[in-house]
């Protein structure tokens, strides 16, 4: 069927061109009769229930614009046949309802009726002027708004959270089944599988490998004896293992003899015993250790095969003899494995092209045959249970990637040997030292008393809410509207009662309990896997570009055009938080220029803390206890819960203590006598000098604490402050974190004071589209800001080390922050728009920052959570989706609980504060009992 032809365009000169100024007071006069006619048709359609040209819905909804007004019409009429199968597959649930073409025919007919006489489509139009655009623009607006509204309707935040919950349940079930089927021993993964993340970075399957330092290795191996038995390849592994303990140990001496090593400071003894073949000599050496009177090595690493292939020219008789010899040795190794850790090293592949003539018989085919024999015999040495002799097969995978770098085709390059030695160190030492970033071979940490009580509390809340829900539902069924059989109409028995505070409280703690169970599963229960981070420039900068494009795409007009308005600060916090998240998951802290710029972003958060709280107290003059309690609750609620559930100190989540302390500093500074607020200062300029004097004393106090570490540590080492600010037994970490951004909050307060003073005197032009200052001053300040911004970036990129950069950072970070604020706010058009994409994340930035520790990253931010193994990209997408949904839900829970726990009535609030104080006292007592039991 042919589409109807549009009416001919109006003749040239039919109307005067319309300029944007004409739209200031409404649509052009030519369009007014049409608009009045449309409004009349809308009202008639609404009254009669007939779908008009604007579609169904309320009159107010239809008056908002073409895209929104046409939404319900297009949804009811289903999929359009424009564009063929691609358009038909767009997936609207309403696609099958009604005639597929009818809705679009009505849209086209409407477009033909509403062709404007003239249209300034090139100019940005207000919503009321949307009726005067050409048909093509109308169709584009319809397509955009229809698609956007359809997505929002069928995929809201609520449905996203339901999908995230389903994903968590499915993934947990899959991982639980995998653990049951494949076993729960991560040591097997460490010894048998993995991949290279980079040239020299080995990633075991599903767990994290710790890189041991000299002190850690000695601490683990104190009073231990390790024995390496085998050929030249085992000797190489021995040297690499010893160099972890003593890097100065040299590879020298007769290669075909025993090599001893001893570190007397740690009483560590490591021996290499030269037994190149699996024969009677090796058997006798192992047999001696099985006697009760002989001291046995704590760790035995054995393996050999290449000499047997070489000496016997790769004959099948040699393989048969190898099988017989290893069969006789297997019971001895199994007996030793009951009291010692025994590892049999499978043979690595060779690079046949580089082998010398006397080694040409050592082929990969022969090596595979010997390995198969060793595995089958050693694994079948015990009939009724699993063999205690562990197969060290991961070196084969490492060699397959690196053997091409071998000098002779037989022996591995040094980097590969170091990786194998570090794997051995992880296998033995992780269960002893329990490093945070070494999840391989670590048992699940036992539940503490506080964690058990928290589990009981959340379980009680879940049960209580279920009981409350069942009772409420039964009452609702009894009061359900009944049908009047005579009239066929429903009669309501009662009006729905409002939701009680108790129900909100139980529901919030119920949801929080389920979320905390997910936190625990991710980072404490060893249910999900973890992997090490690995930094590449692409892993950091490509996601940055991606989110930048999304942020620019989703832009809207601001409700107000003031400097640092609410939408703009939310946007600022949002993009900063996303950059920080990418920085953390990519491990970009190893790249110094990125590290320094991220330090500026953290400082910018604190700058906003100083700016925001100072502005509130200065303008509102509200120093009441309710305001203080609300801010402290919103900042600390999630962190306190995580400290209890995840058994972590308060200082571990360093940013929240930092913001909390600075908020209290701002409050005390402004609340102390004399209280100086804007209303009082407007009456007498003398009060401005009084406030500046207060800020001056604050700066002196900051400088004193920054350069007097002893005084700072004495203050925060006092009980009970020490329980909040100690980490690993001291407050040095807290002092370092506080000192790193010591001036930026003061800068934020000072900036707020200057800005509000200029605004009060109407020196700034903050109208829509207007530059902040006169053109000359604005251009000059923009030039200075851009130069300053780039200068800081150049300096940050040229720093030699972190210590040098961190020393200068507190004094210079404000330069880039102020430069960004001026660049963002001086142009009127930049101040008039904001990114709704970034602003959405900015509203939950605190929850995102805290939640990343355990459900996006892993091992307390040291690694990456692996929900979907084997596919890093899909894993990041799924884990990020769940992580964002959880953060958003926690934000809503915190807001709901804040309204209940922190009431506005002072008498009720004081009672709640007494209960909260009692709770923390009980927590301190339990923590002390817990610490004593550990010691």
Bridge partners, 529 (sequence order): 866
The C-alpha torsion from 569 through 572 and 577 to 580, rounded to 10°, is: -140
Bridge-based pairing of strands 863-866 and 529-532 is: antiparallel
**Which residue do the tokens 């085998």 mark?**
230
Query: Sheet harboring 529-532: ordered strands across?
Result: 529-532, 863-866, 857-858
End-to-end CA distance of the chain: 86
Indicate which residue of 128, 232, 460, 717 is catalytic. 232
Residue 411 catalytic?
A: yes
Helices 802-825 and 566-586: angle between axes, nearest 10 degrees: 150
Indicate which residue of 156, 356, 380, 408 is catalytic. 408
Residue 232 catalytic?
A: yes
Cα separation, 396 vs 411, whole angstroms: 12
Indicate which residue of 175, 225, 411, 809 is catalytic. 411
Look up residue 161 and give its two tokens.
């959270």
The count of C-alpha atoms lying within 13 angstroms of the C-alpha of 282, restricted to the half-sphere facing its C-beta, is 26
**Which residue do the tokens 């039991």 mark?**
933
Cα separation, 219 vs 880, whole angstroms: 38
Mention every residue, 6+ apart, whose C-beta is less than 8 A from residue 476: none
**Which residue do the tokens 């080390």 mark?**
801
Of residues 634, 753, 734, the one with CA closest to residue 687: 753
Cα separation, 174 vs 771, whole angstroms: 58
Residue 622 catalytic?
A: no
Burial 465-480 (b: 16+ CB within 10 A, else e): beebeeeeeeeeeeee
My answer on whether omega of the bond before 614 falls inside 30° of 0, hence cis, is no
Look up residue 657 and give its two tokens.
């203590």
As a three-state string, the secondary structure of 75-101 is: HHHCCCCCCCHHHHCCCCCCCCCCCCC
Are 1 and 105 within 8 A, CB to CB?
Answer: no
> 664-669 long-range contacts, Cβ below 8 Å, gap at least 24?
665/698, 665/745, 666/609, 666/610, 666/613, 666/614, 666/617, 666/745, 666/749, 667/613, 667/617, 667/623, 667/628, 669/694, 669/695, 669/698, 669/749
Look up residue 520 and give its two tokens.
């625990």
Cα separation, 438 vs 436, whole angstroms: 6
Q: For residue 656, how many other CB atoms are within 10 A of its CB?
A: 21
Cα separation, 539 vs 587, whole angstroms: 9
Burial class (CB in 10 A: 0-12, 13-18, 19+), 34: middle
Q: For residue 174, how many other CB atoms are within 10 A of its CB?
A: 12
- What phi-psi label fits residue 58: left (phi over 0), alpha (psi between -120 and 50 degrees) or beta? beta
Are 817 and 613 within 8 A, CB to CB?
Answer: no
What single-letter DSSP state applies at residue 588? G
**Which residue do the tokens 């589409």 mark?**
3
Cα separation, 541 vs 6, whole angstroms: 49
- Compute CA 208 distance to the chain's CA centroid, rounded to the nearest angstrom: 18
- Compute CA 132 distance to the chain's CA centroid, rounded to the nearest angstrom: 46
- Compute CA 201 distance to the chain's CA centroid, rounded to the nearest angstrom: 23
**Which residue do the tokens 């989540």 mark?**
653
Catalytic (active-site) positions: 232, 408, 411
């Amino acid at each position: 069927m042919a589409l109807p032809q549009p009416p001919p365009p109006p003749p040239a000169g039919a109307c005067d061109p319309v300029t944007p100024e004409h739209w200031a007071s409404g649509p052009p006069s030519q369009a007014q009769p049409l608009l009045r006619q449309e409004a009349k048709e809308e009202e008639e359609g609404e009254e009669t229930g007939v779908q008009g040209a604007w579609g169904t819905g309320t009159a107010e909804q239809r008056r908002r614009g073409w895209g929104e007004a046409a939404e319900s019409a297009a949804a009811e009429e289903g999929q359009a046949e424009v564009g063929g199968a691609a358009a038909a597959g767009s997936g609207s649930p309403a696609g099958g309802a009604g005639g597929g073409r009818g809705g679009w025919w009505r849209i086209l007919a409407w477009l033909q009726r509403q062709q404007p006489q003239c249209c300034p489509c090139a100019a940005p139009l207000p919503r009321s002027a949307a009726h005067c655009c050409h048909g093509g623009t109308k169709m584009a607006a319809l397509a955009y708004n229809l698609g956007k509204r359809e997505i929002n309707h069928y995929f809201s935040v609520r449905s996203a959270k339901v999908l995230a919950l389903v994903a968590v349940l499915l993934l947990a079930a899959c991982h639980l089944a995998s653990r049951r089927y494949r076993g729960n021993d991560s040591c097997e993964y460490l010894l048998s599988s993995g991949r290279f993340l980079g040239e020299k970075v080995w990633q075991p399957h599903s767990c994290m490998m710790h890189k041991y330092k000299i002190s850690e290795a000695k601490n683990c191996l104190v009073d231990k004896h390790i024995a390496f038995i085998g050929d030249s390849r085992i000797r190489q592994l021995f040297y690499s293992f010893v160099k972890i303990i003593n890097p100065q140990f040299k590879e020298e001496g007769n290669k075909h003899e025993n090599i001893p090593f001893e570190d007397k400071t740690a009483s560590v003894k490591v021996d290499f015993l030269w037994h190149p073949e699996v024969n009677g000599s090796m058997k006798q050496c192992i047999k001696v250790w099985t006697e009760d009177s002989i001291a046995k090595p704590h760790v035995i690493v054995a393996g050999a095969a290449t000499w047997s292939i070489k000496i016997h020219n790769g004959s099948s008789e040699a393989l048969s003899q190898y099988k017989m010899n290893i069969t006789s040795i297997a019971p001895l190794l199994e007996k030793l494995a009951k009291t010692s850790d025994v590892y049999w090293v499978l043979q690595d592949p060779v690079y046949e092209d580089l082998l010398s003539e006397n080694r040409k018989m050592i082929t990969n085919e022969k090596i595979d045959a010997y390995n198969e024999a060793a595995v089958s015999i050693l694994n079948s040495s015990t009939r009724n249970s699993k063999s205690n002799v562990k197969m060290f097969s991961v070196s084969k995978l490492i060699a397959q990637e690196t053997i091409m770098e071998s000098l002779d085709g037989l022996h591995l390059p040094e980097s590969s040997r170091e990786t194998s030695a570090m794997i051995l160190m992880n296998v033995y030492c992780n269960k002893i030292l329990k490093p945070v970033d070494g999840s391989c071979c670590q048992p699940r940490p036992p539940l503490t008393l506080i964690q058990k009580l928290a589990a009981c509390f959340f379980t009680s809340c879940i049960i209580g809410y279920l009981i409350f829900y069942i009772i409420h539902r039964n009452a609702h069924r009894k009061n359900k509207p009944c049908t009047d059989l005579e009239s066929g109409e429903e009669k309501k028995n009662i009006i729905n009662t409002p939701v009680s505070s108790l129900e909100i409280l139980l529901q919030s703690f119920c949801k929080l309990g389920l979320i905390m169970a997910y936190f625990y599963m991710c980072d404490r229960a060893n249910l999900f896997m973890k992997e090490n981070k690995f930094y590449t420039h692409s892993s950091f900068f490509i996601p940055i570009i991606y989110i930048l494009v999304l942020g620019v795409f989703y832009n809207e007009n601001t409700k107000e055009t003031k400097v640092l308005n609410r939408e703009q600060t939310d946007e600022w916090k949002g993009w900063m938080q996303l950059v920080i998240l990418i920085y953390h998951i990519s491990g970009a802290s190893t790249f110094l220029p990125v590290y320094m710029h991220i330090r500026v972003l953290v400082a910018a958060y604190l700058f906003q803390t100083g700016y925001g709280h100072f502005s509130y107290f200065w303008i509102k003059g509200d120093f009441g206890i309710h305001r203080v309690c609300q801010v402290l609750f919103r900042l600390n609620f999630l962190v306190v819960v995580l400290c209890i559930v995840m058994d972590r100190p308060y200082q571990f989540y360093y940013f929240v203590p930092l913001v909390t302390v600075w908020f209290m500093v701002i409050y005390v500074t402004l609340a102390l006598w004399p209280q100086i607020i804007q209303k009082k200062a407007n009456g007498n300029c003398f009060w401005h000098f009084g406030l500046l004097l207060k800020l001056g004393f604050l700066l002196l106090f900051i400088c004193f604490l920054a350069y007097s570490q002893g005084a700072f540590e004495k203050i925060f080492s006092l009980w009970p402050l020490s329980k909040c600010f100690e980490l690993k037994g001291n407050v040095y970490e807290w002092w370092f974190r506080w000192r790193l951004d010591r001036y930026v909050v003061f800068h934020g307060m000072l900036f707020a004071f200057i800005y509000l003073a200029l605004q009060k005197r109407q020196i700034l032009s903050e109208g829509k589209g207007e530059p902040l200052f006169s053109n000359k001053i604005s251009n000059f300040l923009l030039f200075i800001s851009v130069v300053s911004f780039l200068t800081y970036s150049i300096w940050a990129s040229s720093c030699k080390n972190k210590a040098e950069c961190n020393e200068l950072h507190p004094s210079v970070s404000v330069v880039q922050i102020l430069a960004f604020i001026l660049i963002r706010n001086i142009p009127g058009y930049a101040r008039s728009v904001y990114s709704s994409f970034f602003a959405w994340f900015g509203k939950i930035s605190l929850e995102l920052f805290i939640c990343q520790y355990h459900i996006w990253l892993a091992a307390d931010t040291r690694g990456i959570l692996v929900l979907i193994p084997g596919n890093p990209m899909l894993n990041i997408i799924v884990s990020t989706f769940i992580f964002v949904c959880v953060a958003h839900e926690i934000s809503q829970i915190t807001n709901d609980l804040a309204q209940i726990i922190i009431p506005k009535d002072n008498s009720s609030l004081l009672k709640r504060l007494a209960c909260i104080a009692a709770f923390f006292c009980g927590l301190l007592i339990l923590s002390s009992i817990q610490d004593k039991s550990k010691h």
